[in-house]
Amino acid sequence: MQSTFSRAQKQDLFLICIFLFVGSCELFAREASSLPNLIVIYTDDQGYGDVSHLNPESKFRTPTLDRLAAEGMVFNDAHCSDTVCTPSRYGLLTGRYAWRTELKRGVFGSERPCLIEDGRMTLASLLAENGYATAMVGKWHLGMEFPGTRESRDWKKPVLDMPLDKGFDYFYGIPASLNYGILAWFEGRYANNPPTLYTQKKPNRLAIDDYRIQPPYDASAKVLGETNSLGIVKGSLEIAGDFVDSQCLTQFTDRAITWIENHQRQQNVSQPFFLYLPYTSPPKPVIPIERFRGQSSAGAYGDFMMETDWHIGRLLETLDRLGIDDQTMIVFSSDNGPETTWKKRAAQFGHQSNFHFREGKRSIYEGGHRVPFFVRWPGHVRSGGVSSRTICQTDLLATLAELVGANVPDHAGEDSVSFLAELLPQKAAEGVSKYRLPVVHHSSGGGFAIRDRQWKLIMPHRRQKLELYDLSLDPSEQKDLSEAFPDVVNRLTQALTEIVNKGRTTEGMPQANDQLWWEDLTWMEPPHSK
């Protein structure tokens, strides 16, 4: 059919289309530029008492973390989703409890299929779908698949099932904790210098009950390392010749800064970015660089925390120098409570890494999972704000989804509840409820507890008896009230059972756990017994 439009009319239509296209691009740019850059800083085994803003009796100062707290919102009742590395990182990135997966206890080593299955929404994939550039720099510890076997590697082939497959555009870091191997500086899918040498843990005279990963390294393995079901490695670790444990914090911070600088220089400045920066400090190996040694009153651990704080300060200086400080939301937290060396540190130096909470890493008590948690976004999040709302790190996915205006489907973020109303005054003005649905705590040995408002119910598990605490009166968990309040025990037991069976904490269609029942669900009958 012959066109009925004249040449002039066609030109007018073309100009209108161009105008609409440019206008839509400008609208997209304005919408994108109104979204903040996002940085999630995640320390390793840092206790609640390891921030001087939170612990007046701390034996070292953390001025950068204190600044984040003073210029942002402090959540004083925040929790990691588990009490050890791998499951807490899974919960942070997916908004789902890791005990719903195959991982019921302990952690992963370096080499195995990633715990985050293909297609599952993560913080990175959520934000990438909403216009963000995404990067991860630091410690992964969720599983990777390496080329070949320990006996026969081909490092010319790519690493698979890793951060680049879970929503991140860029990755620089290490596969897991330093004592698990495989240790090299990985960038993208390849090691800059392949881990073709071998080493074993060496004594660390700087710190309490500690080790080092440092040269000299061996050309062949004495005993090839094996990783058991709890992630413990015995034998030789695969390592690159240029890898030294004390360089981790410097390398990670340098790379994070470089990535931000490159993004601002090379990309559309209206495109926001997301950076996930999981550090390897402050736990074993405790190896502060020379300039910080002897600077604290808590030994090498305090020195190492001071170095960590300094590196975070370098990151803030970069944001200020680039003029994007007030365009960037920073979330800071730790993956679980302090390593068991906190006990000797308390006795020797008088420093309580767990503050006044009971126990530390791996424990079902508050010291195992109550962690520092700060959110700073100048001009938006209230400076000097303090929230007593109970939150879990799983909540970050729903919070950021609400922030960017995205929907979380039923099969994602099953245990994620937004706390955006706590952060932004306009959301609080909308009258959004501050009540958080019950939070489930989980120990490294597989034990469960449930928190609802002031009540915390610890379920029986092996040598652990059933206990109930009123945390509003007893945050140190000293007085068991289970016999005095049987109705609370029954109500919370039913709530925990429903959360397990429904496959989610939040409203929505029930979802499947990887198993219907496992032996750690001591208060529930196996399906076949009904």
Q: What would the pLDDT profile of 184-215 be if each residue is shown by its tens digit?
A: 999 999 999 999 999 999 999 999 999 999 99
On whether the CB atoms of residues 438 and 448 are closer than 8 A, the answer is no
Cis amide leading into 372 (omega within 30): no
The span from the CA of 59 to the CA of 56, in Å, is 9
What is the structure's pLDDT at 18? 45
Separation of alpha carbons 392 and 507, rounded Å: 17
Query: In the structure, what pLDDT confidence band is assigned to residue 229 with cuts at 50, 70 and 90?
Result: low
Q: What is the mean pLDDT of residues 477-485?
A: 98
Lookup: tokens for 469: 């605490």
Report how far residue 229's alpha carbon sits from residue 528's, in angstroms, rounded to the nearest whole number: 27
User: Tens digits of per-residue pLDDT, 425-454?
Assistant: 877 667 666 689 999 999 999 999 999 999
- Domains within the chain, CATH numbers bracketed: 34-429 (3.40.720.10), 439-529 (3.30.1120.10)
Query: Residue 277 in 3-state DSSP?
Result: strand
For range 485-511, the mean pLDDT: 98
> Residue 218 and residue 56: Cα distance in Å, rounded?
46
- Mean pLDDT, all residues of the chain: 92
For 157-169, how does the pLDDT look when each residue is reduced to its tens digit (9 = 90+)?
A: 999 999 999 999 9
pLDDT at 205: 92
CB 182 within 8 A of CB 204: no
C-alpha–C-alpha distance, residues 361 and 141, integer Å: 16
